[in-house]
Chains A and B, each alone.
Chain A
Amino acid sequence: MPDITVVLPSVLQPLAGGQSYLTTPADGAVTVESLLDAVTGDYPVLARRLRDETGSLRRYVNIYVNGEEVRRLKGLDTEVAAGQEVLIIQSVAGG
């Protein structure tokens, strides 16, 4: 079964046991929401850094699927195909 890979920014890697990416097996397309549920299930602090308690993606967290930020697609309902790679990148923000 092919994996879907989620690539973490370096600043979040300590919250995933030092891993630079997380994978989950997938035999078909899954939504970004269920993908995040799957890969952060063992890392609750990492999960809270990405989404708030309503499940919304934090404002300055960007997730890219096929090079497109998911807010420009279907948000957390955006589908990711098996074998794809998803990037999590913090947006340029702050003073």
Chain B
Amino acid sequence: MGCMATAESYVLAIGTKKGLWLARSTDRKEWSLSGPYFLMSEIPSIGIDTRGDNPRIMVGVRSEHWGPTVAHSDDLGATWTEPEQGAIKFPEGTDAALERIWQIYPDSASRPGVVWAGCEPISVWKSTDGGEHFELNRGLWDHPHRSEWGAGYGGAAAHSIVVNPSGENVHVAMSTGGVYRSLDGGASWEARNKGISAYFMPDPNPEFGQCVHKIAADAAVEGRLYAQNHHGVYRTDDNGENWISIADGLPADFGFVMLTHPRREGTAWVIPIKADSERIPPDGRLAVHRTDDAGESWKRLDVGLPDHEYNAVLRDAAAVDTAEPTGVYFGTRGGSVYASADEGESFIEVASHLPDVLCVRAAVVSGVVSTDVAAELAAASAPSGLPA
């Protein structure tokens, strides 16, 4: 029987094609799994907001039948709330309807309550009430390029949002369209793709139209971002003005994931996929690659990962936590989820045989926790379907 203690614990939220699972741990070695929540709805986006007194888990939920919505839980999954009028709703006059929520991004601790969302059709949204209601970013929606943005295989979406510490610089990545930058907190936007290849277009170096799969900001160097492109891995040191290749040393320059360290300069992780035309880990050998020098060199990390794996890892199916050392997490389309408590040096399997993993997010949660996480999880009910 567990007792109560004031301690840090870890929560790992796993969004899949057919529901959400939550894993809890007190040591990042032993994990207890609960779920499914929202059974038969896909969960393509998760945000864990640890800025308030209680961690809030926000999920983008999408039912093939009943459409998309945003729900949140303030008790680590025991209960879920869905705003009656819907958290994200295209305003009248746009003649658009929300298809899918691809990204839920809690802003910095200095802007509590601010949460960004990236959606399909390509759009960016901002909430100032902790993710309960979002407003459409008109600057991007009304951008003259919008009619020329296209759809990647998974749909046309804004899938990455990065906000700098001051809140003035906002970078968005979309497939397809590429990277757009705002220097005024999101009021106006310009394409910033110089150096990023769009080999699939007649002009391989267009102003926009690139298929950037994921971007992430360096934690310590202002203006430095990393991008995993549809072939190509890049870094910018000048706030997106120029992108340079950092793919040398990787087994492949295709992939979907780009993660950065929460505090340390120059550290990023990618999970290479062989090629656009062959979407499996290179040679069927799954590995994470980490750079500690901003992409000058890469280290292959595969301890604890299976010898053979033919499933890809999707763009949001990977995450870091904020612990020291940093935890690295990812899930495959084959339903396996792996966790590392040592920045990728070694992994353990947290879950297996789940539906396709679309999104994972991890967080350190503080407060009074049961030392018997399994019992605590068993006590929590798991709502089944979207309309619960």
Query: Please, which residue of chain B has its CB at the minimum distance from the CB of A16?
Result: B387
- Interface range on chain B (Cβ under 8 Å from partner): 20 to 34
From residue A8, how far is it (CB to closest CB) to chain B in Å?
10
Q: In the complex, identify which listed stretch (A26-34, A66-74, A87-95) lies at the interface while the others stay far away.
A: A87-95
Q: Which of B64, B385, B387 interacts with A45 by CB under 8 Å?
A: B387
Are B67's CB and A49's CB within 8 A? Answer: yes
8 Å CB contact of A44 from B84, B97, B385:
B84
Q: Is A38 among interface residues, defined by CB-CB distance under 8 A? A: no
Asked whether, in the complex, the Cβ of A60 is within 8 Å of the Cβ of B64, the reply is yes
User: Which residues of B lie under 8 Å from residue A44 when comparing CB positions?
Assistant: 84-86
Report the bound CA distance from A11 to B384 in whole Å: 10
Given contacts A48-B86, A53-B90, A54-B95, contact A93 B387 (CB under 8 A): no
> In the bound complex, do residue B67 and residue A14 qualify as a contact, i.e. CB atoms below 8 Å apart?
no
**A44-B84, A44-B85, A49-B387 as given contacts; A58 in contact with B96, CB under 8 Å:** no
> A1-43 CB contact bits vs B (8 Å, 1 = yes)?
0000000000110110000000000000000000000000000
Other-chain residue from A11, A52, A91 in contact with B67 (beta carbon distance below 8 A):
A52
Interface positions, chain B 73-111, Cβ under 8 Å from A, are 82, 84-86, 89-90, 95-98
Q: Does B308 contact A (CB under 8 A)?
A: no
Residues in B neighbouring A60, C-beta threshold 8 A: 64-65
Do B97 and A61 have beta carbons less than 8 Å apart? Answer: no
- Nearest A residue to B89 by beta-carbon distance? A53
How many A residues, CB 8 Å from partner? 21
- Asked whether A45 lies within 8 Å of B82 as measured between CB atoms, the reply is yes
CB distance from B86 to the nearest CB of A (A): 5
Interchain nearest-CB distance for B221 vs A (Å) = 41
CB distance from B295 to the nearest CB of A (A): 38
The yes or no answer to B1 lying at the interface (CB within 8 A) is: no
B385's partner among A11, A46, A53, A58 (CB-CB below 8 A) is: A11
A56 at the interface (CB under 8 A from B): yes
19 contacts between A and B (CB under 8 A): A11-B385, A11-B387, A12-B387, A44-B85, A45-B84, A48-B86, A49-B65, A49-B66, A52-B67, A53-B86, A53-B97, A54-B90, A54-B95, A54-B96, A56-B97, A61-B66, A90-B66, A91-B65, A94-B40
Beyond contacts A14-B388, A45-B82, A53-B86: 18 other A-B pairs, Cβ-Cβ < 8 A, are A11-B387, A15-B387, A44-B84, A44-B85, A45-B86, A49-B63, A52-B97, A53-B89, A53-B90, A54-B90, A54-B95, A58-B65, A58-B67, A60-B65, A61-B66, A91-B65, A93-B65, A94-B64
